[in-house]
Structure 1
Amino acid sequence: MTNPPGTTTDAIREVRTATQLRDAMVQSLVKFGAAEDPRVVAAFRAVPRHLAMPEVDVTKAYDAEFAAVTKTDPTGVDISSVSAPRVQAMQIEQAQIEPGMNVLEVGSGGPNAAYLAEMVGKEGRVVTMDIDSDVTDRARTFLTATGYENVTVLTADAENGARHHAPFDRIVVTVQAADIPPAWITQLKDGGRLVVPLRMRGLTRTVAFVRDGERLVSDGFDLCGFVPMQGIGENRVQLAVLHDVEGEEVALRLDGHPEPDTRALAEALVMPRATAWSGVTLGGMESNEHLDLWLTTALDNLPLMAAKPGARKRGLVASASPLGVPTLVDGGTFAYRTVRATDAEDRFELGAIGHGPHGQQLAKRLVAEIQIWDREHRGDRARIEVDPAGTPDDRLPAGRHIERRHTRVTITWP
């Protein structure tokens, strides 16, 4: 077979390798349930995502769990990335996109806009926007190179949406948001779907909302992690540092939680541990995302504890997670969720570790809520509702209310 003019053996080999890796990525997405809709599967099989991240090894670019960081701020915080394929597929499944739709993507990068373009087809339209011109330049370059002509790239703060291109059937947000700007609701058709990584008391879930008049009502959510929103809507968590030795840092992530007594908590950190166990177990592959959402619904002062691996290695903490560990705080005492292996293969018992003068008492309190979740809510999914700020209490459902600038977010359980 004669090679096309202008091609080289290396170039052909690279295309074949990328195609094979893309097929393997898609098989992984299907296997783990991230991509179920045949049209989503086809979209992920069609887009050469590696071209959006030429600095990344092609094998890595097609790792279903790999998110490519494309920009950091002066402090080293990641502010732009190409999300992992699994997360992108998960959000697109949540959005339930149909051919011919008008879709807004908040937070650009390139590949995700291409997937959305595949979903809406030639009769549809995708608008992708980002506040950072470096990001939108990369997106334009990628979309031009890959031939997606039904995508409009905008450089603007998404706080105000894209009214000249509205109304939208779907809005897909690919950055962490602590609030929902009014424009995202008013520019969404009634009955339309907004998929957004919403941060609620420190916990981030990508939530599929359906617009019902002036409010949004959840229709499912999943655990996720995204870079934070920039611009007018920026609202980052605050860190309360308890231990600052390099490589062993321990801090609490505050998201509307009371300002803690960091000195007292730092002293508590090095006090002997008090442990309480719940008798409640999880399977090795079973997520604790619904448990954690229950805990933050039920308990008032529950920030997330972030700890570097060195802190766990040294024995300062027993649990460390990139997403943070729910931690109950009361004055100079704190207790956090933990697990231990059981005699049953691949099952772990949930418990709590307490530090400070009342460590045992606080650990038992945390364990009591774990037991309530197991007894009354295991298998349930919370409902998340977003209403405009200023909505009277008597018009909100009973539950945990989270106050933001534009909205009142309510978490309720069956």
Structure 2
Amino acid sequence: MTHTTVDSDEAARLRNEVVDRLVADGAISSPEVEAVMRKVPRHAFAPEASLEKAYAPYAAVITKTDAHGVQLSSVSAPQIQAMMLGQARVRPGMRVLEIGSGGLNAAYLAELVGEAGDVVTVDIDSTVTDRARRLLDEHGFGRVRVVCVDAAEPLDDLGTFDLVMVTAGAWDIPPAWTGRLTPGGRLVVPLRMRGLTRSVAFVRVDDHLESESAFVCGFVPMQGSTAHREELLLVAGTPEIGLRFDDGLPADPSLLDNAVTTPRVELWTGVEVGRGELVDTLQMHLAITLPGFCVMTVDPDLDSGIVAPSNESFSLAAVDGADFAYLTVRRTEDDKGVEYGVHALGPTASGFAKIVADHVRDWARDRRGGPNPVIRVHPAGTPDAQIPADRVIDKVHSRISLAWSPA
């Protein structure tokens, strides 16, 4: 039995409830986006889930996994879809290319562009495109074009678009995407930079892309020719402590072999943050300023207490030669927030802990509560002199620059 056979009043009630909450939370700021999210039946595009799960406001619906349980495709959480549609600034009559099919987002886009517009949705997986085609046809969106193709390859027969929206986690920006944009066109993409993913709204400016907004998000990673896996460094060669590097391992990872044999250094920064305070700029600040920036994970089944992170699955970390350090937190005395601290291990851990702690204090003084860095995408091979940046991240097809102030 599909959701189309259940009580439509209950589905409408749940749909309006989740939209009401997203409006109250500020996740929906556009009346056009609010209208389409109230109109299009989300549950009809997520038949794998119960009504309650389909309309959970901050949860995705997984639609495909591999033999190992790795997520391959999903219907994004409502707040993520609302956020990206707001970033996209879709208008009637626009031509839109969606990369990463599921059906629901293409239906939203079709409503937003109207009869005068055009929506093409593509995916590398024929199972996904077949599903999207079926669901779109069943629910009145037959005018959406669905294509099975690796979107990182040339898309010469599809024309140009006012908007390219990517709904899979991307590590690189291939020329096939930027080459499909009209002058002044917009690219909205969940872009991974040094292990941190942001939904970035880019506009085309001359020969490069420049960010207008960037928000924390998480997405199923891209497949195909632009797929990119993080590299995992197992500290001391055991799976207990893993350091994940997005752009290559340290020059000599073996230097860390004896780090866990040294006493753990603990240093508290005096930087306190309240509950619910956004710290996305802290993440970006450390990614920009620390050369050996990475993410630490701990296997809870093997945890021997060598490290004591506040989040075993995601801790901001860094490596410097034979030392590594990570951020942790403890509750403030008034229990209204947390204080950031640094744990470090290695032969010169005390010195490295101070370096990392000073970067946290610099963030609190200079970046806290401020805007995110400007993110620019330049073609690979662009000379350094032409890229204003506090850090440049080299990819295969592009050079991603991060700068705290406009050029």
TM range (shorter): over 0.9
Residue by residue over 1:181-238, the C-alpha shift from the partner in whole angstroms, topping out at 9 and shown as x without a partner, is 1121121011111001111111111111000122000101000111111111111212
Tell me what 2:291 maps to: 300
Give the secondary-structure state (helix, strand or coil) at the position aligned to 1:160: coil
Bigger mean CA deviation after superposition, 125-134 or 255-264: 255-264
In 2, distance between residues paired with 1:278 and 1:237? 29
Contact 1:52–1:111 under 8 Å retained in 2: yes
Whichever residue aligns with residue 173 of structure 2, its letter is I
Contact 2:260–2:306 under 8 Å retained in 1: no
Matched, 1:385 2:376: yes
In 1, distance between residues paired with 2:145 and 2:236? 47
Matched, 1:206 2:199: yes
Contact 1:241–1:262 under 8 Å retained in 2: no
Change in 2 beyond 3 A, CA 1:72/1:356: same
Mapping of residues 23-172 of structure 1, within 5 Å: 23-160=16-153, 162-172=155-165
Tell me what 2:330 maps to: 340
Matched, 1:286 2:277: yes
Matched, 1:353 2:343: yes
Residue by residue over 1:301-360, the C-alpha shift from the partner in whole angstroms, topping out at 9 and shown as x without a partner, is 1111123455679574322265x3221112332111111111234221112111222222
In 2, distance between residues paired with 1:108 and 1:11? 21
In 2, distance between residues paired with 1:280 and 1:166? 51
Change in 2 beyond 3 A, CA 1:202/1:366: same
In 2, distance between residues paired with 1:79 and 1:406? 24
Unaligned runs of 5+ in 2: none
Tell me what 1:4 maps to: none
User: How far off its partner does 1:161 sit?
Assistant: 5.4
Bigger mean CA deviation after superposition, 148-157 or 337-346: 337-346
Mapping of residues 254-293 of structure 1, within 5 Å: 254-259=245-250, 265=256, 267-269=258-260, 271-293=262-284
Residue by residue over 1:232-287, the C-alpha shift from the partner in whole angstroms, topping out at 9 and shown as x without a partner, is 11112122233898xx8431111114347666646534654211111112111012
Contact 1:161–1:187 under 8 Å retained in 2: no
Which of residues 325, 337, 352 in structure 2 aligns to 1:362? 352
In 1, distance between residues paired with 2:86 and 2:344? 40
Mapping of residues 216-227 of structure 1, within 5 Å: 216-227=209-220
Change in 2 beyond 3 A, CA 1:198/1:341: same
Contact 2:100–2:167 under 8 Å retained in 1: yes
Whichever residue aligns with residue 291 of structure 2, its letter is D
User: How far off its partner does 1:163 sit?
Assistant: 3.2
Tell me what 2:362 maps to: 372
Whichever residue aligns with residue 301 of structure 1, its letter is G
Structural RMSD (CA): 2.2
Tell me what 2:190 maps to: 197
Whichever residue aligns with residue 325 of structure 1, its letter is S
Give the secondary-structure state (helix, strand or coil) at the position aligned to 1:268: helix
User: How far off its partner does 1:64 sit?
Assistant: 1.3
In 1, distance between residues paired with 2:189 and 2:160? 17
Change in 2 beyond 3 A, CA 1:311/1:120: farther
In 2, distance between residues paired with 1:374 and 1:344? 20
Give the secondary-structure state (helix, strand or coil) at the position aligned to 2:215: strand
Residue by residue over 1:83-137, the C-alpha shift from the partner in whole angstroms, topping out at 9 and shown as x without a partner, is 1111111111111111111111100111111111111112111111000001111
In 2, distance between residues paired with 1:118 and 1:308? 45
Contact 1:78–1:227 under 8 Å retained in 2: yes
Whichever residue aligns with residue 117 of structure 2, its letter is G
Contact 2:342–2:356 under 8 Å retained in 1: yes
Bigger mean CA deviation after superposition, 254-263 or 269-278: 254-263
User: How far off its partner does 1:148 sit?
Assistant: 0.9
- What TM-score do you get using the length of structure 1 for normalisation? 0.91
Whichever residue aligns with residue 231 of structure 2, its letter is Q
Contact 2:309–2:327 under 8 Å retained in 1: no
In 2, distance between residues paired with 1:314 and 1:207? 37
Whichever residue aligns with residue 356 of structure 1, its letter is G
User: How far off its partner does 1:56 sit?
Assistant: 1.2
Give the secondary-structure state (helix, strand or coil) at the position aligned to 1:219: strand
Bigger mean CA deviation after superposition, 308-317 or 332-341: 308-317
Give the secondary-structure state (helix, strand or coil) at the position aligned to 2:243: strand
Whichever residue aligns with residue 333 of structure 2, its letter is D
Give the secondary-structure state (helix, strand or coil) at the position aligned to 2:363: helix
Give the secondary-structure state (helix, strand or coil) at the position aligned to 1:26: helix
Contact 2:390–2:403 under 8 Å retained in 1: yes
Tell me what 1:180 maps to: 173
In 1, distance between residues paired with 2:302 and 2:136? 43
In 1, distance between residues paired with 2:366 and 2:168? 33
Whichever residue aligns with residue 150 of structure 2, its letter is D
Which of residues 220, 232, 235 in structure 2 aligns to 1:239? 232
Contact 1:71–1:78 under 8 Å retained in 2: yes
Residue by residue over 1:369-393, the C-alpha shift from the partner in whole angstroms, topping out at 9 and shown as x without a partner, is 0111111222132001111111111
In 2, distance between residues paired with 1:102 and 1:20? 32
In 2, distance between residues paired with 1:263 and 1:313? 21
